[in-house]
Structure 1
């Protein structure tokens, strides 16, 4: 699997596939300077070679992975949106709407916070 389209194409559940297509298309439109790629079997977006955000699916949710720093920074907003989170990912239940405003703030935060980062992951 090398492209976002290939990733989305292998999602069996049509509702989950549609939700993932919506999110990936939104990121590509809202942040055209980010590079998309598949790594670790998930779609992700990078900026100047550093990780910004990744997505994956499970039976119960769409997972958003902005690294722990982003999750910690927005933890109250994540809970307020009705999502739960772990150290490394935010879980958006399939039946809940996507808070695109929150996603935008998380992505903008990571872009700004990692502007001088020269490694893929934060150190």
Structure 2
């Protein structure tokens, strides 16, 4: 399975429900976007395409953080807010008690894939 790379990361999540949910989300990304490459960098699960970052995740006690880079947050800020997620400059947080808006997640990933199709670097050069 392509997401075996995440096994050690998932095993570190103490709460079995959060561990299972994180695994389900990572598997959904891998199944929905088959060309993305699952990997662990900086001890966080992420997906890349042609060597550029597309989406990453991190886990805390209260939420799963989703990081589509600053441009992804800016582009989808209204939808993120309407979904009931808190956000910052670089990520949004899905509370463990909140439903996952998979349609929004799919749009964000599709946006990053298109916007970064010709990106030669891992991170995009953010407009400051």
Indicate yes or no: 2:69 matched with 1:62: no
List aligned pairs for 1:86-105, cutoff 5 A: 86-105=88-107
Query: What's 2:84 paired with?
Result: 82
Runs of 4+, deviation exceeding 2 Å: none
Query: What's 2:22 paired with?
Result: 20
CA shift, 1:11, in A, is 0.9
Q: Distance in 2 between matches of 1:42 and 1:19?
A: 16
Q: Distance in 1 between matches of 2:11 and 2:94?
A: 20
Q: Distance in 1 between matches of 2:18 and 2:57?
A: 12
Q: Distance in 1 between matches of 2:20 and 2:7?
A: 12
Root-mean-square deviation (CA), in Å? 1.0
Query: What's 1:9 paired with?
Result: 11
Q: Structure 1: any 5+ residue segments left out of the alignment?
A: none
SS at match of 2:10: helix
Query: What's 1:36 paired with?
Result: 38
CA deviation string 1:29-67 (max 9, x = no partner)? 000100010001100000100000000110111000000
Q: Distance in 1 between matches of 2:26 and 2:7?
A: 10
CA shift, 1:5, in A, is 1.2
SS at match of 2:119: coil
Query: What's 1:109 paired with?
Result: 111
CA deviation string 1:12-34 (max 9, x = no partner)? 10011011011000001000100
TM-score (norm 2): 0.93
